[in-house]
Every structure is written in C-alpha cells, then in structure tokens.
C-alpha cells in the first residue's frame, strides 16, 4: 500500500513579486521577464500553500540553482532555510515576513558575495510530523547583479546614484538576451 498524501501541505504557487522587488534594487528599468536583483539586498517572495502555514509544524526552504549540474560543492546551488531569525546579509537566509490565510511572505537575503548570474528558484515545504515534502519551481528565473551601492561590494563606486543625472558616475549594467552575459559600463555625467 502506498502512503496517502491527503492532508499534507502542498505549494500551490510561488511569486517572486517582480513589481515590488525590482524598484528597491534599482533594476525596474530592465525589459526582461526575469526578476533582476542586486546582491547584498533582501527581497520578498510569496508562497501560496494548500493550507495555513504553521512554523512549529512546517519547514520552508528557498533554493537557488544555476548552471547545468547545480551543486553545493561547485558553488552553483544555494539553500536558504527560512527561520524565525532576522535575515543576515552575509549569507543566504530568510525569515517569514507575514502570514496570510494560505500564503506566506518570506524575506530572503542575497549575500554580498553571491555569484552573479541567472538562477532557477525553487520553494520547498516539509511537514515536520510526517516528513512529507513538496517543491515548486518559480515561473521566472532570477538574475543577480553586482551592487555598486553596497560598501562591501567588490566594485563599489563612491557617489553612484540611481536618480536623475546631477553629476558623478552612472553605472549601467546590460543583460544580453542572447548569451545571458552581464555587461557593465560607466558613464560620466556632468551638470548642465
């Protein structure tokens, strides 16, 4: 006889909240269906479940994978365990931001040294009493870029701004749709 999954918690959907997250990362001007984020910043995802989430009974994870054979040893697979602690910007971490009837908003931190590139994102929920698990892959991929506004970033540039040109230097990354390579060029701005 096969085990019955009736009553087990399932993931019904997974939203990377593109419209809410990209303006915070100053990436909303890119015309791509992918969600473009910057490392060293946090972002929010919404996970839709088959029943109400209980932190005592259920465990949530968000996993980021890139490349052909993602793995922990080759730095191409990262697991973000969702817990009750605050997010920590030096590691992949996450915490429950808010709970709704059958959905959970989770704040995820991208570490400042995360590899730049495109990732698949997978949510996983585990019922801790029955040890049953369910996974759901996000419809969109995430592209992680350098973050010139973070002082811990290896390419941090002083006086970089995201607003209208008022003098200084502007950083303009470009994602090639053909190759998924990220090109960065600097543009000197002058006051008029």
Query: Using one digit for the tens of pLDDT, what is the confidence trace for 88-136?
Result: 666 888 999 999 989 999 999 998 888 889 999 999 999 998 989 999 9
The segment with the largest mean pLDDT, out of 1-15, 83-97, 154-168, is 83-97
The pTM assigned to this predicted structure is 0.75
Q: Where are the domains of the chain?
A: 11-147
Among the listed residues 106, 185, 177, 178, the one whose alpha carbon sits nearest the alpha carbon of residue 146: 185
**Under a CB-based contact definition with an 8 Å cutoff, are residues 118 and 180 in contact?**
yes
Pairing state between β 93-99 and 77-83? parallel
Residues for the chain: how many in total? 192
Reported CATH class of domain 11-147: mainly beta
**Residue % of the chain over a pLDDT of 70:** 69
Please give the backbone phi and psi of residue 69, each rounded to the nearest 5 degrees, phi first.
Answer: -125, 80
Q: List Cα–Cα distances, 176 to 41, 159, 184, in angstroms.
A: 23, 26, 11
Q: Encoding tokens for residue 25?
A: 């990362």
Predicted confidence at residue 146, as pLDDT, reads 83
Whether pLDDT at 154 is above 60: no
Query: Which residues have C-beta within 8 Å of that of residue 7, sequence separation ≥ 6?
Result: none
Q: For residue 99, what are the β-bridge partners?
A: 104
Whether pLDDT at 166 is above 50: no
């Amino acid at each position: 006889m096969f085990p019955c999954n009736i009553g087990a918690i399932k993931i019904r959907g997974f939203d990377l909240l593109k419209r809410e997250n990209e303006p915070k990362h100053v990436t909303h001007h890119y015309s791509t269906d992918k969600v473009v984020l910057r490392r060293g910043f946090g972002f929010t995802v919404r996970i839709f479940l088959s029943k109400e989430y209980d932190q005592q009974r259920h465990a949530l994870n968000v996993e980021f994978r890139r490349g052909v054979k993602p793995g922990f040893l080759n730095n191409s697979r990262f697991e973000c365990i969702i817990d009750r602690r605050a997010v920590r910007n030096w590691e992949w971490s996450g915490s429950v931001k808010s709970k709704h009837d059958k959905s959970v908003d989770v704040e995820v931190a991208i570490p400042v040294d995360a590899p730049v590139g495109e990732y698949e994102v997978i949510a996983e929920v585990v019922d801790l009493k029955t040890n049953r698990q369910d996974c759901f892959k996000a419809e969109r991929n995430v592209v992680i870029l350098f973050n010139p506004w973070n002082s811990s970033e290896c390419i941090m540039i002083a006086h970089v701004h995201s607003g209208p040109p008022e003098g200084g230097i502007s950083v303009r990354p470009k994602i090639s749709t053909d190759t998924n390579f990220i090109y960065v060029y600097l543009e000197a701005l002058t006051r008029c």
